[in-house]
Amino acid sequence: MKVKGSVFKYGENIDTDVIIPARFLTTADPELLKIHCMEDLDGEFIKKVRPGDIIVAGKNFGCGSSREHAPVAIKASGISCVIAEDFARIFYRNSINMGLPILECKEAYEGIDNGDEVEVDFEEGLIIDKTKDLVFKAKPFPPFIQNIIDAGGLVEYTKGNR
């Protein structure tokens, strides 16, 4: 699978409170959550994001609360992939469970700029910056995690193992 889009670049320690503020957690409806995605950090995000676009960020992306609403809101906004130096562990699990593609790549964070056109090849684990003509290699998932992704998320994986 390949995805392609423009990059929204953010810094380090992007927490779940700015991804989707708790005041909006009275619903789990993706269509209602996405309206407020990144609202307190970047009010322009939801106006500008197009299907396929990509978030690139620094270390510890998704730190804070366990709210699954965070990857749900990002996915519903049209974001096709989040690339970060690394992820907070609950966000990492939630993204895999929700089917939001995430990749760890420090070099991509350092090399890619806001607004760059980027293509991601998940099979090869390649992140290609078309604007700068640069290629980065993402850290592959452990096989066990890949099995959950291949099963279509944890729900399907659990069904298959019962």
Partner 1 sequence: MGMTMTQKILAYHAGLDNVSEGDLIEAGLDMVLGNDVTAPPAIDILNNMGGKVFDKDKVILVPDHFTPNKDIRSAELSKCMRCFAADNYIKHYYELGDEGHGIEHVIIPDNGLVFPGDAIIGADSHTCTYGAVGAFATGVGSTDLACAMASGKTWFKVPEAVKVVLKGKKNEYVTGKDIILHLIGLIGVDGALYRSIEFTGDGVHDLSMDDRLTICNMAIEAGGKNGIFPVDEVTLAYMDKVNPIRFTSGGYKAFVPDDDAVYSSTVEIDLSEVPLTVALPHLPSNTKRAEDVRDMKIDQVVIGSCTNGRISDIRMAASILKDRKVAHSVRCIIIPGSRKVYRTALEEGLISIFEKAGCVISTPTCGPCLGAHMGVLAGGERCVSTTNRNFVGRMGAKDSEVILSGVPVAASSAILGRVGTPKEVL
Helix (H, G, I), strand (E, B) or coil at 43: coil
- Footprint on residues 116-145 left by partner 1 (CB under 8 A): 142, 144
Nearer to partner 1, 6 or 157 (CB): 157
Written as six digits, the tokens of 44 are 């322009």
Q: Which of 114, 131, 146, 158 binds partner 1 (CB under 8 A)?
A: 158
Shortest reach from residue 67's CB to partner 1, in Å: 7
Written as six digits, the tokens of 14 are 């992007």
State how far the Cα of 29 lies from the Cα of 48, in Å rounded to an integer. 21
State how far the Cα of 46 lies from the Cα of 24, in Å rounded to an integer. 15
Query: From residue 47 to residue 76, what is the string marking binding to partner 1 with x (rule CB under 8 A)?
Result: ------------xx--xxxxxxx-------
Shortest reach from residue 105's CB to partner 1, in Å: 16
Residues ≥6 apart with Cβ < 8 Å to 119:
2, 3, 4, 127, 128, 130
Q: Which of 57, 93, 127, 128 binds partner 1 (CB under 8 A)?
A: 93
Nearer to partner 1, 54 or 72 (CB): 72
Written as six digits, the tokens of 126 are 């390649």
Q: Which of 46, 134, 135, 154 binds partner 1 (CB under 8 A)?
A: 154
Residues ≥6 apart with Cβ < 8 Å to 162:
none
Helix (H, G, I), strand (E, B) or coil at 147: helix
First to last CA, the chain: 29
How many chain residues touch partner 1 (CB under 8 A)?
A: 39
Asked if 34 is part of the footprint of partner 1 (rule: CB under 8 A), the reply reads no
Q: Under the rule (CB under 8 A), what is the footprint of partner 1? A: 13, 15, 17-18, 21-23, 25-28, 39-41, 59-60, 63-69, 86, 88-90, 93-94, 97-98, 142, 144, 153-155, 158-159, 162
